[in-house]
Copies of this chain bind each other. A is one copy, B any other.
């Protein structure tokens, strides 16, 4: 394992802390993943890319990371309530909406989009619906510990009672008394709860609820917060190292996770809480109701009123990485177009590195030596990708000078430049031009048109040497040229 000075900003302490894994070289990381009842948008991409960077850099440092990112598929889809349970039961199962069919569809799409953005798959992607038994066990433990109560088949977490033993609100910096003051107005509609700050651990299903499972309390479904506690405990034990998610999940979701974990296991869930900041669109909050909600598919196709063009998945990734994950990130077409150019500048280092002719076996230049130190320092400083990218632009300048013979690279310089490109551009930042592979066939067709036109010109000038040369050379790269009445056509063998 590489020695490192990695520091992570821990939301819990609001400090940048040295990263000390509990069981090095093993690292356990849990991140709140998508709810799969809709298409992923820029906010999903930012969270996925942020924790992909943590995953990649920790692995690059030599840690053996078990990365769990859950899929929330327990949706609160409802039947038409008028039909009632009896009528529904009489209908063929096939004629009913099956929530898992919807969940599977959006899960597949989420994977496909994230794959295109270079986001690595986590070690395990557990489904909430696949861990009902584990959630029931969790609720039982919390009840046994005396921090929950049952009302009419539903179970609620007793926040004031918990708060007497553990500080509730420590992650988000909220104080229970204030919470009570601000949420009292909702009390009337939640008359099963003893207290408005309490939250559901298990809910009895109303007749219109489709997803439902048997439990000791009722046929129903788990509360929103239980899945992450049950699944992180199952796959990572407690405490584990890093818990991540979007800043909007800090309260109430992550606060509830801490409470559930302390109540059930007498332990905090994790050492480091990491939260990525939000995306704004032209300075405004993004939201369906605001009409400025752009899905990844719309970004990739350019089909949205707010977009002036389509953006490559890798451009979106690079755009996200150009801001530190703890800063807000504002979308605009200008910002994305600038990201597109910046990404090309970095990726063009690869062919430029191929062109560099190293001369002499001099030693490593101090500038490149320093650059390597700076790249690690940037990532060690709470995964500071914008600073890393600035260093990589400096690298690009040096490489371009050497490729254009305006500067001299020794063998050691060239090896170091190649290693920095591979380690940081490809491995840690996960940037590549492979996402635009699909375009290759299209470009190939354009280039073949040109080549066959040149060949036709040569033939018309009776320059058969050239026309035969083109045909023979194409054969060596697997392309057969067929001459016909209406000109030549070609096919890949």
Taking CB atoms, residues of chain B closer than 8 Å to A344 are 493
Whether the Cβ atoms of B133 and A121 lie closer than 8 Å is no
Let me know if A491 and B348 touch, CB within 8 A: yes
CA gap between A129 and B129 in the complex, in Å: 11
The prevalent SS among residues of A at the interface is helix
In the A-B complex, the 6 residue pairs with the smallest Cβ-Cβ separation, listed nearest first, are: A130-B130, A93-B237, A446-B477, A440-B440, A26-B94, A440-B441
Closest partner residue, chain B, to A404 (CB atom): B484
Determine whether the beta carbon of A447 is less than 8 Å from that of B446: no
A479-B351 contact in complex given A123-B104, A213-B133, A404-B484, C-beta closer than 8 Å? no
Give residues 316-351 of A contacting B (CB, 8 Å): 344, 348, 351
- 1/0 per residue, CB under 8 A from B, across A452-479: the answer is 0110010000000010011001101111
Q: How many copies does the complex hold?
A: 2
B66 touching A101, Cβ below 8 Å: yes
5 A–B contacts from the bound complex (CB under 8 Å): A66-B101, A355-B484, A439-B492, A443-B479, A447-B474
Residues B104 and A124 in contact, CB atoms below 8 Å apart? yes
A438 CB to nearest B CB, Å: 7
> Could you tell me if B95 and A124 are in contact, using CB atoms closer than 8 angstroms?
no
Q: Are A95 and B348 in contact (CB under 8 A)?
A: no
Interface string of A83-115 (1 = CB under 8 A from B): 000000000111100101100110010000000
With contacts A446-B476, A454-B470 known, what are 15 further pairs, Cβ within 8 A?
A: A26-B95, A28-B94, A66-B101, A98-B235, A100-B126, A104-B121, A104-B123, A104-B124, A127-B130, A132-B133, A355-B484, A437-B441, A447-B451, A453-B473, A457-B466
Is B351 a contact partner of A489 (Cβ separation < 8 A)? yes
| A residues 1-60 touching B (CB-CB < 8 Å) | 22-23, 26-28
0/1 string, A125-154, CB within 8 A of B gives 1: 111011111000100000000000000000
Q: For the side of the interface on A, what is the size category?
A: 35 or more
Task: Report whether B489 and A355 are in contact in the complex, using a CB–CB cutoff of 8 Å.
Answer: yes
A29 to chain B, nearest CB (A): 10
Q: Is the CB of A440 within 8 A of B446?
A: no
A187 → chain B, closest Cβ, in Å?
A: 33
Closest to A28 in B: B94
A486 to B94, CA, bound (A): 67
The answer to whether A405 and B485 touch (CB under 8 A), given A94-B236, A133-B133, A491-B351, is yes
Smallest CB gap from A111: residue in B: B111
Closest residue of chain B to A64 (Cβ to Cβ) is B94
Residue among A22, A137, A439 facing the most chain B CB atoms (10 A cut-off): A439
Shortest CB-to-CB span from A445 to chain B, Å, is 8
Residue A214 is within 8 A (CB to CB) of chain B in the complex:
yes
- Which residues of chain B have C-beta atoms less than 8 A from A438's C-beta? 437
Q: Is A448 positioned at the interface, with any CB of B under 8 Å from its CB?
A: yes
Say yes or no: is A199 at the interface (Cβ < 8 Å to chain B): no
Q: Which residues of B contact A474 (CB under 8 A)?
A: 447, 450
Chain B residues with CB under 8 A of A383: none
Would you call A168 an interface residue if the criterion is a C-beta within 8 Å of the partner chain's C-beta atoms?
A: no
Q: A309: shortest Cβ distance to chain B, in Å?
A: 14
Complex: how many Å from CA A265 to CA B303? 50
Q: Quick check: B450 and A94 within 8 Å, CB to CB?
A: no
Q: List the B side residues contacting A447 at CB < 8 Å.
A: 444, 447-448, 451, 474, 477, 479
Whether A240 sits at the interface, judged by CB under 8 Å, is yes
Nearest chain B CB to A238 CB, angstrom units: 8
Interface residues of A in 226-243 (CB under 8 A from B): 235-237, 240
Q: How far is the CB of A281 from chain B (nearest CB, A)?
A: 28
For A23, A94, A236, A405, the residue with the greatest tally of chain B CB atoms inside 10 Å of its CB is: A94
Question: How far is B473's CA from A428's CA once the two chains are assembled, in angstroms?
Answer: 37
Of all chain B residues, the one with the shortest Cβ separation from A473 is: B450
Contacts of A469 in B (CB 8 A): 454
Smallest distance from the beta carbon of A363 to chain B beta carbons, Å? Answer: 26
Nearest CB of chain B from residue A474's CB, rounded to whole Å: 7
Query: In the complex, which residues of chain B have a beta carbon less than 8 angstroms from the beta carbon of A454?
Result: 451, 454, 466, 469-470
